Each structure stands twice: as structure tokens, then as C-alpha cells.
């Protein structure tokens, strides 16, 4: 009887390992943990991009209200896909979105892109050498952060936003923060 | 010709992999630059993921290399620089996983499995030896020995 049970051991170990690895395979290795969650936004002070009359975008701008910080670039194809939805959020006035224009080789490219496709951002900062992007732990554009009114990072979404993702991931966090109801 | 080949081989022996570091990124201070290279070799490029930022051509890897050098220039220690990058991207950026509770399985798992396999092997051979010993027939009784000798005698020519 004891021996019988011992024969079951290898397949049992196999099943445990298989489940372990199967779960591991469902995880996207491109998605890194949000190290900033629950921490104040990193310090940064970005210069404005052309054609905008604001003063740029700095970490101090994030105190006082719930907002989104969206990392984008004119070179980023997924940002182009996301863009109409950001415009929609702006039109609905759900929550202010600030932009970090990341790694433009040509300083005119970002402003041109925003003129051509529309500008959903309240404030925009130019981040040509990834200073702010690295401080935020960004690995690729677009990435969107939810910052609460105390300037604490609450959530990070990697990849282009769309209505479905908004409803399932962004809106619940905003509801929790008491902001962004339609 | 032969001398030329020997010289070429000797020259080749003095080369080393250059990585992706652009000469313009390098620091003037060779000691700092060496430290920067050493740090870069242990940081994972978060875009390509299986290369260090020292090897990667990705723009973000370049910016991280520059950041490492900037921080060294301001007098930060190696661990301070690495800790900063880890605080932004997590342990994942370390090509060599750190030693802590969550990574115990990673560090001890292989050794543990090896130990288990060794134990199983020792156990297996011991048991085999025991059964082999058990299978050895008991010595012949006097009667049997007599019969055996008789049989052998009959066969003699």
C-alpha cells in the first residue's frame, strides 16, 4: 500500500510543476511590477514642448487633484491607437490628463503630432532623455499612471487605453478616489 | 606571411567585447567609466529583457547608461545607483536575482532537487544490493553436495 502511494509521487510532482509553469506562462514578462504604487510621484521638472503656452510639466503640478499621467511619443504606434480615446476622455471631462512626451528625436515631432491628431493633455512636458520616464519606471509607451490628490501614484496601466480597459481597470480606481464619474 | 598571422592572432587576443556603449557616452575618468560599465553589465535592459543595458542598443538602455554615469558623476556609490534603478523597475532589472525570501526557491531549489535525487539514488542502489544479497541461494547441504559430486563424476570421460 505504501509503495503504491510512492508510485503516485512522480506524477503528482509533475502536476504541481505543470500548474506552476502554466500559471507562469499566462503572465506577460513585459509587464513589470508598479514599483511606485502607493508612493509619491518621483520628482521631475520637464520643459514645455513647442506650440503650447504652458510652463511645462513638473511633479509639483500633481498636487491638488486626481489626474492621469500619460507617457506618449509621436514615434509610438500604440499611442496613435490610444489617442482618440484620450480625446474622448478629455471631451467628457472625466479627469485631467497630463502628458510626458517621451524621447522625441525631433523636438518638433511631438507638437506636430498633437496638432494633427488633437491635444488631450492639460499639461505636457518634454522628456527627450528619459529622465522622467525612468523615474516613473516606464518600459514602453504608452503607459498611464493614476495620481491621487496627494500626489501619490495609485495605479499604472501599460499599453493603450480603450473603453473596455477604462471601465475594468481605470474607472474602479478613480471611483475609489472619488473622482471621474461621468 | 606566418609572422603576419601570428601578429593578427596576438592583436585579436587583446580585444574585448565593446558592448553598445557609444564613445560619446563614456566618462573621462577611466575609474568611473569602469564602474559604470560594471554596473551596466548587471542591469537588465527593460526593453529587450535578455540583454544587459551594457549590451543593448535600445534607446532606453542608452538613457539608463547615461543615467548610471550621471549618478556616478554626482558621487553616488555603486549600490546607490543600482538601488535607484531597482526602486523604479523592481528586482527584475537585476540580471542576478537578489538573495531574499521571495527568491529562496530560485537559489536553493536546484540544490534541493539535486540532494533529493542523490538520496533517491543511494536508496535505490542500497535496495538493489540488498535484494541481490537475498537472491544468493543458501549453501548446499551435505546430501546435495554428495549428489552434485556424483553427477559430476558420471560426466567424466
Across the range A7-26, mean pLDDT stands at 90
The answer, for A139 touching chain B at a CB cutoff of 8 Å, is yes
* Domain topology for A36-176: Glutaredoxin (3.40.30)
Complex confidence, ipTM: 0.84
> Quick one: pLDDT at residue B26?
87
Task: Name which residue leads in pLDDT, A119 or B24.
Answer: A119
The answer to whether the CB atoms of B63 and A134 lie below 8 A apart is yes
The answer to whether the CB atoms of A103 and B64 lie below 8 A apart is no
The answer, for B60 touching chain A at a CB cutoff of 8 Å, is yes
Residue A46 pairs with which residues in a beta bridge?
A57
Span of A19-23, B5-9, B26-30, B73-77 with lowest mean pLDDT: B5-9
The answer to whether the CB atoms of A130 and B63 lie below 8 A apart is yes
What 3-state class would DSSP assign to A83? Answer: helix
- Residues in chain A closer than 8 A to B90 (CB atoms): 32-33, 35, 137
The answer to whether the CB atoms of A129 and B46 lie below 8 A apart is no
Edge-to-edge strand list for the sheet holding A153-158: A124-127, A97-102, A67-72, A143-147, A153-158
> Quick one: pLDDT at residue A180?
45
Element (H, E) at B135: helix B104-135
Read off the DSSP letter of residue A167. Answer: I
**Residue A182 reports pLDDT greater than 60:** no
pLDDT tens, residue by residue, A139-164 = 988 999 999 999 999 999 999 999 99
Residue A71 pairs with which residues in a beta bridge?
A100, A143
Residues 6+ apart with CB under 8 A from A76: A102, A141, A142
Q: Would you state the cell numbers that stand for residue A22, as one nine-digit string?
A: 502554466
Largest CA distance in chain A: 82
User: Strand runs (DSSP E) across A52-171, as ranges?
Assistant: 57-58, 67-72, 97-102, 124-127, 143-147, 153-158
In b/e form, how buried is each residue of A92-123, taking b as 16+ CB within 10 angstroms?
Answer: eebbbbbbbbbbbeeeebbbebbeeeebbbbb
A66 within 8 A of A148, measured Cβ to Cβ: yes
The answer, for A60 touching chain B at a CB cutoff of 8 Å, is no
Span of A30-39, A108-117, B15-24, B95-104 with lowest mean pLDDT: B15-24
> Quick one: pLDDT at residue A144?
96
The answer, for B22 touching chain A at a CB cutoff of 8 Å, is no
Q: Note if the pTM is more than 0.80.
A: no
Question: What's the rounded Cα separation, in Å, for the pair B157 and A82?
Answer: 103
The answer to whether the CB atoms of A32 and B87 lie below 8 A apart is no
- Residues in chain B closer than 8 A to A137 (CB atoms): 88-90
> Quick one: pLDDT at residue B15?
67
A137 within 8 A of A158, measured Cβ to Cβ: no
Pairing verdict, β A57-58 and A124-127: unpaired
Residue ranges and CATH numbers for the domains of chain B are 2-98 (1.10.8.640), 102-155 (no CATH)
Q: Which residue of B has its CA nearest to A6?
A: B120
**Taking the domains of chain A in order of start, what are their residue ranges?**
36-176
Q: Which residue of A has its CA nearest to B89?
A: A137
Q: CA geometry: angle at A49 spanning A47 and A51, to 5°?
A: 135
Read off the DSSP letter of residue A136. Answer: T
**Residue A101 reports pLDDT greater than 80:** yes
CA distance A143 to chain B (A): 14
Mutate which of B71, B83, B88 to test chain A, going by most A C-beta atoms within 10 A?
B88
> Quick one: pLDDT at residue B19?
67
Q: In percent, how much of chain B has pLDDT > 90?
A: 46
Reported confidence tier of residue B48, pLDDT bands at 50, 70, 90? confident
Reported confidence tier of residue A33, pLDDT bands at 50, 70, 90? confident
Amino acid at each position: 500500500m505504501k509503495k503504491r502511494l510512492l508510485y503516485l509521487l512522480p506524477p503528482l510532482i509533475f502536476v504541481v510543476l505543470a500548474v506552476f509553469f502554466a500559471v507562469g506562462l499566462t503572465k506577460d514578462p513585459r509587464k513589470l511590477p508598479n514599483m511606485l504604487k502607493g508612493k509619491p510621484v518621483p520628482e521631475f521638472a520637464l520643459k514645455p514642448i513647442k506650440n503650447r503656452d504652458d510652463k511645462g510639466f513638473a511633479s509639483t503640478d500633481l498636487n491638488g487633484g486626481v489626474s492621469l499621467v500619460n507617457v506618449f511619443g509621436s514615434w509610438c504606434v500604440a499611442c496613435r491607437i490610444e489617442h482618440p480615446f484620450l480625446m474622448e476622455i478629455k471631451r467628457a471631462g472625466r479627469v485631467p490628463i497630463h502628458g510626458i512626451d517621451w524621447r522625441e528625436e525631433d523636438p518638433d515631432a511631438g507638437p506636430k503630432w498633437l496638432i494633427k491628431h488633437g491635444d488631450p493633455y492639460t499639461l505636457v512636458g518634454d522628456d527627450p532623455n528619459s529622465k522622467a520616464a525612468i523615474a516613473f519606471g516606464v518600459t514602453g509607451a504608452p503607459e498611464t499612471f493614476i495620481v491621487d490628490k496627494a500626489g501619490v501614484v495609485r495605479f499604472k496601466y501599460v499599453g493603450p487605453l480603450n473603453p473596455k480597459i477604462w471601465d475594468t481597470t481605470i474607472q474602479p480606481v478613480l471611483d475609489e478616489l472619488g473622482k471621474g464619474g461621468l | 606571411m606566418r609572422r603576419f598571422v601570428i601578429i593578427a592572432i596576438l592583436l585579436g587576443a587583446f580585444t574585448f567585447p565593446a558592448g553598445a556603449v557609444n564613445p560619446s557616452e563614456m566618462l573621462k575618468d577611466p575609474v568611473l567609466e569602469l564602474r559604470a560599465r560594471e554596473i551596466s553589465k548587471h542591469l537588465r535592459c527593460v526593453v529587450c529583457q535578455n540583454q544587459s543595458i551594457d549590451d543593448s542598443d535600445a534607446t532606453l538602455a542608452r538613457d539608463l547608461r547615461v543615467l548610471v554615469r550621471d549618478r556616478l558623476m554626482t558621487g553616488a556609490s555603486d549600490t546607490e545607483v543600482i538601488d535607484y534603478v531597482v526602486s523604479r523597475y523592481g528586482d527584475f532589472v537585476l540580471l542576478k536575482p537578489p538573495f531574499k525570501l521571495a527568491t529562496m526557491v530560485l537559489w536553493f531549489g536546484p540544490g534541493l532537487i539535486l540532494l533529493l535525487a542523490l538520496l533517491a539514488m543511494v536508496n535505490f542502489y542500497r535496495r538493489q544490493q540488498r535484494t541481490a544479497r537475498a537472491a544468493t541461494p543458501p549453501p548446499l547441504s551435505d546430501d546435495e553436495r554428495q549428489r552434485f559430486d556424483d553427477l559430476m563424476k558420471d560426466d567424466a570421460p
